[in-house]
């Protein structure tokens, strides 16, 4: 919807021009007229879909695009056009109801959007026009306007910052409403813009709008009177995004570059591609079956009708002549309309209400996830968040979990543990007591016994203090009422001596700066030009900040270039060992590598620190290159990267740091439970292998006995050419070991849990993976992939380290599309997990410290990893069972609703006479039977929550869509057929003598239908009652209420002659029926008989309920021995299954044959 609107707005333009030119302070620019003025959209935000005028047609069109609605519309139209048995009201009313409710809901939502849009669009802003401040409505802002924004106001459009009221030409911004990161971000004014904004003459060239929040490339030409035009580069640090809020800054001026629907915020709110659940696929499959059933029923009836009519005297007996119109109609046309009539008569077999109920169930059901107080985390002050309710049941079907490590398995709460300078280890004294145990195992290295040379030590600490993007949070003035920011302060309480806290986008950096602080070097603050640190002698050193070479995940390092007070130009660089080691001198590496590897093994995150002195000429060259790269409009990223890589060479390694990232609360327990539930957990991380491996051990993903198979660069050895051969060798070897070792446990659908044999764990790294996935495109490539997949599937857990975000998604896609298309789930907290969250069937976001991007893109968001256990094991399981039962029940109840009507055609000359009154036909699905199943599908807990939590293995019972496979579907269909046959023929036998009243009077056809319908409503409702294992008062109310409502309605409907009805068909039919003892007895008998098989099955089924405990010791022999259970709703134990299926079958036979033979004999006699 959005995309379409946007492309039609300016899609074409985008292709032609890939940058836009904006004249700041337009009116006064003489050059402006020379250029053909580009057209930009105004600053109106339109998120609403409809206007008053187009609401009705557009909404109807949207609604009827849904296949189900369209089907019902067709049925309705057929009823209107063709002479059909049921009046158009019967299908028109439900359809109208559904359409109206949806339209009202969408209309209301759209009204809300209109309101919100208006609020935004009418917001008063101040714009500078011809040097004067003019008040305007926000929607009137045009591209090129200079806009004034005050503190705590949100930016009305995307602005390039020109002037700030702060002295250091910065302003602070929170983007909480954009990406949820509530920390203050610093934005810089365009350097050299004149202080006097009113007289600014400038042209801005920038790229066309694009949704990436963190990318902006532009160039500003500033003209001053009589001076040469100055060119300044613009980057994301100059761009203030619409939706962000100005903080800590009195006032700013900025020039509007993107407005209205072209702002990054608007571009980012495009709909995600909708994920569909397996249940929905099952529904569609079942629908097709029922559609076939419907068509074949209609076909059989039509055929039989014409066969029957060919018999002598049956087509048009004297008492029932055709109308003139009927006689005139062409035979084939007549056949066709007859076919349509039968379709209409039986169309209730595919109910509108099922869609409504499923939608309602999903929508209402998702509230229970948000309401769950177990998901509330006092630290984040939030509970779970449901972004889509379409996938509730998918949570109960997960087979593979892909989890991020940092921030997901671990807390992402960094603590500086130790550092190593020039090969000597320094423990953080603050944490000495905690890490004491570890220290002793350290062996030869003892604390601070050996010290590095002092100047090296200080250099190292200075590097820690300078090489970062941390900001110091200013002590809050009294008038500042801003509580939000405190969340992000990293638990660091400002020490009394310096009232400050550090704010950074990555917690590692804060940990490092704080670590340096404990060793005597304190970072005091920075502005755009300089950084201040207080050294051990309590003297403040000021460094001029020349360049920041930002961190990015590809380079995996960052650098700063600073000029010290002595005029020395230094480059400090910190980054992952793998990215630093090749760029420093070899001899230093070995001394530090020992430490780094040992730290990594203990699960710490390690960073290496290096520096480089830059001579004046060197610096001048670097400076020029950097500036040039920054100014380039195209491929700026690549150019910058090239320069960075060039600069960051020949450095000198000073030391390494180790930061501990604690495991999340109950991470191990959660992982164990999930594995116990039959899910395979894969850890996908960008971290290095050793760290990730230790985390895996800590999380008990790898056990002591797990045999680790490594597919890493290390295992492959050096040398490009040999790698592929070696990889194949390894793959074959592992495959042999893993797959051939455990052949018996691979039987059937059931996964290898608790297999007595060897557990395997696989470790893959990014380089090997890309080798695997991008292997030569000929046949071997897919061969590799297959081998790899097979190995993976036989391993209990897989660890993929050194992953780029895209590789994470690749892995997910690979598993997703593997044989059996398993359901995948991705958990992550950071922006680097977004790709895999979007790729997996279900994406879970952790409300971690790395911003809100993962949460925003997820389907469900939870505060902590530990909540995943309940989300999957309880909510997922319950929702799956609920919706599966809902779907099956719906098909069942409509089958046994329509089957008697079908059978009745054989006894009414195939004349399409409905068995039930129109009111019953209409109300059956709407009122009489819809509420109990809705209540069931919202409140059922066939196993109590606690039991589900305690016994993870219960999750396996619903694995692989167990309740919606063809087996259970067949069972339900058979049950529906059985009930339908029983209802009809039972009453048919009773009606062999229609004199059922004690007064000798007889019943007619409407009484016949009413008796069948009464039995139907009761049976179907009681059947649900039998299936209900969790009777809350709501269930009681709704189940008994529906039955009571049916009776009341029947009294009422039959008690009055309705003036609007053409025929008073049901007048006193129900009451007369109740005055017949035989009818009562027949109803009771047939209800009991219908439910008998179910009760029997219950009796033979394993007991379930709150006390279920014996589920666990189920012997592994049990499952393989009955691979194809037909009655598989919940698994039945071995012996019982056979008996029950036998009894059930024989029971069906008996109950059919008995009454029929009896009836025959009765008639004969």
Tell me the catalytic residues. Answer: 404
Q: Which is nearer to other proteins, 132 or 312 (CB)?
A: 312
The DSSP code sequence of 640-665 is HHHHHHHHS-SBEEEEEEEEEEEEPT
802 annotated as belonging to a binding site for a ligand: yes
686 annotated as belonging to a binding site for a ligand: yes
Q: Find residue 415's DSSP bridge partners.
A: 660
Q: Which is nearer to other proteins, 17 or 1081 (CB)?
A: 1081
What is the spatial distance between Cα 682 and Cα 674, in angstroms, rounded to a whole number? 11
58 annotated as belonging to a binding site for a ligand: no
User: How far is CA 1003 from each of CA 313, 326, 981, 1076, 1108, rounded to the nearest angstrom?
Assistant: 27, 30, 21, 10, 50
Strand order in the sheet with 170-175: 181-188, 170-175, 245-247
Q: Which is nearer to other proteins, 914 or 980 (CB)?
A: 914
Q: Quick one: tokens of 324?
A: 């003139």
What is the spatial distance between Cα 538 and Cα 324, in angstroms, rounded to a whole number? 111
Q: Which is nearer to other proteins, 304 or 641 (CB)?
A: 304
> What backbone torsions phi and psi does residue 560 show, to the nearest 5 degrees?
-130, 150
Q: What is the DSSP letter of 50?
A: -
605 annotated as belonging to a binding site for a ligand: yes
Q: Quick one: tokens of 203?
A: 């042209």
3-state secondary structure of 531: strand
The least distance separating other proteins from the CB of residue 1146, rounded to whole angstroms, comes to 10
The least distance separating other proteins from the CB of residue 68, rounded to whole angstroms, comes to 16
What is the spatial distance between Cα 220 and Cα 205, in angstroms, rounded to a whole number? 6
404 annotated as belonging to a binding site for a ligand: yes
The least distance separating other proteins from the CB of residue 322, rounded to whole angstroms, comes to 7
The least distance separating other proteins from the CB of residue 850, rounded to whole angstroms, comes to 18
Residues 627, 632, 636, 641, CA torsion sign: negative
What is the spatial distance between Cα 626 and Cα 569, in angstroms, rounded to a whole number? 15
What is the spatial distance between Cα 102 and Cα 755, in angstroms, rounded to a whole number? 51
Cβ–Cβ under 8 Å, residues 1093 and 722:
no
Q: Which is nearer to other proteins, 271 or 721 (CB)?
A: 271
808 annotated as belonging to a binding site for a ligand: yes
Q: Quick one: tokens of 1080?
A: 């009562």
The least distance separating other proteins from the CB of residue 755, rounded to whole angstroms, comes to 25
User: How far is CA 874 from each of CA 881, 936, 942, 1159, rounded to the nearest angstrom?
Assistant: 11, 16, 11, 51
The least distance separating other proteins from the CB of residue 326, rounded to whole angstroms, comes to 8
What is the spatial distance between Cα 787 and Cα 709, in angstroms, rounded to a whole number? 14
Q: Which is nearer to other proteins, 269 or 492 (CB)?
A: 269
405 annotated as belonging to a binding site for a ligand: yes
What is the spatial distance between Cα 961 and Cα 950, in angstroms, rounded to a whole number? 22
Q: Quick one: tokens of 905?
A: 């055609």
Helices marked H in 704-797: 713-716, 720-741, 766-773, 779-794
406 annotated as belonging to a binding site for a ligand: yes
Strand order in the sheet with 540-552: 424-427, 410-421, 652-663, 604-614, 569-575, 557-563, 540-552, 530-534, 522-526
Closest residue by Cα to residue 625 from 646, 602, 605: 646
509 annotated as belonging to a binding site for a ligand: yes
829 annotated as belonging to a binding site for a ligand: yes
Q: Which is nearer to other proteins, 224 or 1138 (CB)?
A: 1138
The least distance separating other proteins from the CB of residue 84, rounded to whole angstroms, comes to 10
What is the spatial distance between Cα 671 and Cα 402, in angstroms, rounded to a whole number? 11
The least distance separating other proteins from the CB of residue 274, rounded to whole angstroms, comes to 6
The least distance separating other proteins from the CB of residue 290, rounded to whole angstroms, comes to 24
976 annotated as belonging to a binding site for a ligand: no
The least distance separating other proteins from the CB of residue 378, rounded to whole angstroms, comes to 9
CA end-to-end distance (rounded Å), the chain: 71
3-state secondary structure of 922: helix
1028 annotated as belonging to a binding site for a ligand: no
User: How far is CA 168 from each of CA 190, 191, 756, rounded to the nearest angstrom?
Assistant: 12, 11, 67
CA 842 to chain centre: 5
Q: What is the DSSP letter of 164?
A: E
130 annotated as belonging to a binding site for a ligand: no
What is the spatial distance between Cα 789 and Cα 795, in angstroms, rounded to a whole number? 10
Closest residue by Cα to residue 22 from 212, 171, 216: 216
What is the spatial distance between Cα 332 and Cα 1151, in angstroms, rounded to a whole number? 41
The least distance separating other proteins from the CB of residue 1089, rounded to whole angstroms, comes to 5
Q: What is the DSSP letter of 925?
A: I
CA 693 to chain centre: 28
Cβ–Cβ under 8 Å, residues 576 and 801:
no
Q: What is the DSSP letter of 750?
A: -
Closest residue by Cα to residue 162 from 198, 118, 211, 117: 198
55-64 and 67-81 are packed helices; what angle lies between their axes, rounded to 10 degrees? 100
The least distance separating other proteins from the CB of residue 978, rounded to whole angstroms, comes to 14
Tokens 């990406």 locate to 179
**Residues in binding site:** 404-406, 509, 551, 574, 605, 685-687, 802, 808, 829, 832-833
Q: Cite the annotated binding site for ATP by residue number.
A: 404-406, 509, 551, 574, 605, 685-687, 802, 808, 832-833
Question: Residues comprising the binding site for Mg(2+)?
Answer: 404, 406, 829, 833
């Amino acid at each position: 919807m959005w995309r379409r609107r946007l492309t039609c707005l300016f899609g074409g333009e985008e292709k032609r021009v890939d940058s836009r030119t904006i004249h700041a302070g337009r009116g006064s620019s003489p050059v402006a007229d020379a250029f053909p003025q580009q057209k930009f959209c105004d600053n109106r935000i339109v998120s609403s879909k409809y206007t008053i005028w187009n609401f009705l047609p557009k909404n109807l069109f949207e609604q009827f695009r849904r296949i189900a609605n369209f089907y019902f519309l067709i049925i309705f139209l057929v009823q209107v056009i063709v002479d059909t048995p049921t009046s158009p009201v019967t299908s028109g009313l439900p359809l109208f109801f559904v359409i109206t409710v949806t339209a009202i809901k969408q209309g209301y939502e759209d009204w809300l959007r209109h309101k919100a849009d208006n609020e935004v669009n009418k917001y008063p802003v101040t714009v500078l026009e011809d040097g004067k401040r003019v008040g305007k409505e926000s929607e009137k802002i045009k591209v090129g306007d200079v806009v004034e924004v005050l503190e705590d106001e949100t930016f009305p459009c995307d602005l390039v910052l020109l002037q700030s009221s702060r002295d250091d030409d910065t302003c602070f911004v929170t983007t909480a409403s954009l990406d949820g990161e509530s920390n203050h971000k610093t934005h810089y004014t365009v350097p050299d813009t004149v202080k006097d904004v009113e007289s600014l003459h400038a042209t801005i060239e920038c790229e066309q709008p694009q949704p990436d929040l963190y990318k902006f490339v532009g160039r500003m030409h500033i003209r001053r009177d009589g001076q040469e035009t100055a060119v300044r580069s613009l980057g994301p640090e100059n761009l203030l995004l619409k939706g962000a809020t100005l903080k800590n800054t009195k006032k700013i001026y900025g020039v509007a570059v993107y407005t209205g629907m072209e702002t990054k915020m608007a571009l980012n709110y495009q709909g995600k591609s909708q994920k569909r659940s397996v249940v929905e696929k099952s529904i569609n499959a079942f629908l097709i079956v029922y559609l076939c059933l419907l068509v074949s029923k209609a076909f059989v009836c039509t055929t039989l009708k014409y066969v029957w009519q060919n018999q002598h005297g049956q087509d048009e007996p004297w008492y029932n002549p055709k109308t003139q119109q009927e006689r005139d109609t062409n035979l084939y046309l007549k056949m066709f309309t007859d076919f349509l009539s039968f379709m209409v008569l039986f169309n209730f077999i595919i109910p509108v209400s099922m869609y409504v109920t499923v939608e309602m169930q999903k929508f209402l059901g998702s509230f229970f996830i948000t309401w769950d107080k177990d998901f509330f985390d006092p630290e984040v002050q939030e509970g779970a968040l449901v972004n889509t309710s379409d996938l509730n049941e998918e949570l109960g079907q997960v087979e593979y979990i892909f989890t991020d490590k940092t921030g997901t398995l671990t807390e992402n709460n960094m603590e500086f543990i130790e550092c190593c300078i020039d090969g000597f280890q320094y423990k953080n004294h603050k944490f000495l007591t905690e890490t004491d145990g570890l220290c002793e195992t350290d062996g030869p290295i003892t604390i601070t016994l050996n010290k590095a040379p002092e100047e090296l030590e200080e250099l190292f600490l200075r590097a820690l203090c300078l090489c970062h993007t941390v900001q110091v949070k200013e002590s809050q003035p009294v008038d500042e009422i801003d509580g939000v920011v405190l969340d992000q302060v990293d638990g660091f309480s400002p020490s009394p001596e310096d009232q400050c806290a550090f704010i950074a986008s990555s917690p590692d950096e804060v940990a490092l700066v704080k670590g340096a602080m404990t060793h005597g070097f304190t970072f005091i603050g920075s502005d755009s030009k300089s950084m201040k640190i207080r050294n051990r002698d309590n003297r403040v050193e000021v460094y001029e900040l020349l360049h920041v070479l930002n961190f990015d995940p590809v380079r995996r390092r960052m650098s700063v270039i600073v000029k010290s007070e002595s005029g020395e130009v230094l480059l400090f660089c910190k980054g992952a060992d793998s990215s630093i080691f090749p760029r420093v001198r070899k001899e230093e590496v070995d001394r530090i590598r020992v430490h780094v590897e040992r730290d990594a093994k203990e699960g710490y995150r390690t960073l290496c620190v290096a520096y480089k002195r830059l001579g004046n000429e060197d610096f001048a060259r670097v400076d020029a290159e950097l500036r040039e790269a920054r100014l380039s409009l195209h491929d700026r990223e690549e150019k910058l990267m090239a320069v960075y890589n060039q600069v960051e060479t020949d450095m000198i390694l000073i030391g390494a740091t180790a930061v501990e990232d604690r495991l999340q609360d109950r991470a191990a327990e959660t992982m164990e439970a999930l594995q116990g539930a039959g899910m395979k957990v894969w850890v996908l991380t960008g971290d290095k292998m050793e760290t990730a491996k230790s985390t895996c051990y800590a999380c008990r993903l790898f056990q002591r006995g797990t045999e680790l198979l490594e597919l890493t660069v290390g295992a492959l050895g050096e040398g490009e050419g040999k790698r592929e051969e070696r990889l194949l060798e390894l793959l074959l070897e592992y495959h042999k070991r893993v797959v051939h070792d455990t052949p018996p446990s691979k039987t059937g659908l059931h996964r290898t849990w608790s297999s007595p044999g060897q557990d395997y764990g696989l470790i893959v790294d990014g380089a090997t993976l890309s080798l695997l996935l991008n292997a030569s495109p000929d046949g071997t490539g897919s061969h590799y992939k297959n081998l790899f997949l097979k190995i993976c599937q036989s391993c209990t857990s897989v660890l993929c380290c050194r992953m780029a975000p895209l590789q994470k998604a690749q892995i997910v896609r690979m598993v997703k599309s593997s044989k059996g298309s398993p359901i995948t789930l991705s958990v992550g907290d950071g922006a680097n997990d977004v790709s895999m969250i979007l790729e997996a069937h279900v994406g879970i976001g952790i409300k971690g410290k790395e911003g809100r991007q993962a949460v925003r893109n997820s389907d469900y968001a939870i505060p902590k990893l530990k909540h995943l256990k309940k989300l999957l094991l309880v909510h997922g399981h319950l929702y799956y069972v609920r919706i599966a039962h809902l779907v099956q029940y719906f098909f069942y109840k409509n089958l046994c609703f329509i089957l008697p009507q079908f059978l009745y055609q054989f006894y009414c000359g195939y004349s399409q006479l409905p068995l039930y009154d129109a009111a019953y036909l209409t109300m059956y699905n709407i009122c009489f039977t819809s509420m109990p199943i809705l209540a069931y599908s919202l409140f059922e807990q066939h196993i109590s929550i606690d039991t589900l939590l305690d016994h993870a293995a219960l999750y396996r019972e619903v694995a692989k869509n167990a309740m919606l496979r063809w087996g259970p579907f067949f069972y339900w269909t058979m049950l529906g057929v059985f009930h339908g046959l029983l209802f009809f023929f039972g009453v048919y036998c009773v009606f062999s003598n229609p004199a059922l009243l004690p007064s000798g009077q007889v019943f007619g056809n409407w009484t016949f239908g009413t008796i069948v319908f009464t039995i139907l409503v009761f049976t179907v409702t009681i059947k649900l009652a039998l299936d209900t294992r969790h009777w809350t008062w709501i269930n009681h109310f709704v189940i008994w209420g529906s039955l009571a409502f049916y009776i009341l309605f029947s009294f009422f409907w039959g008690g009055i002659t309705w003036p609007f009805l053409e025929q008073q068909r049901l007048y006193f039919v129900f009451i007369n029926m109740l005055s017949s003892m035989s009818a009562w007895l027949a109803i009771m008998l047939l209800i009991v008989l219908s439910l008998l098989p179910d009760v029997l099955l219950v009796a033979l089924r394993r007991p379930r309920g709150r006390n279920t405990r014996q589920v666990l010791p189920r012997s592994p022999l049990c499952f393989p021995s009955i691979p194809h259970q037909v009655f598989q709703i919940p698994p039945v134990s071995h012996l019982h299954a056979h008996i029950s299926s036998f009894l059930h079958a024989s029971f069906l036979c008996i109950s059919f044959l008995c009454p029929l033979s009896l009836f025959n004999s009765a008639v004969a006699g």
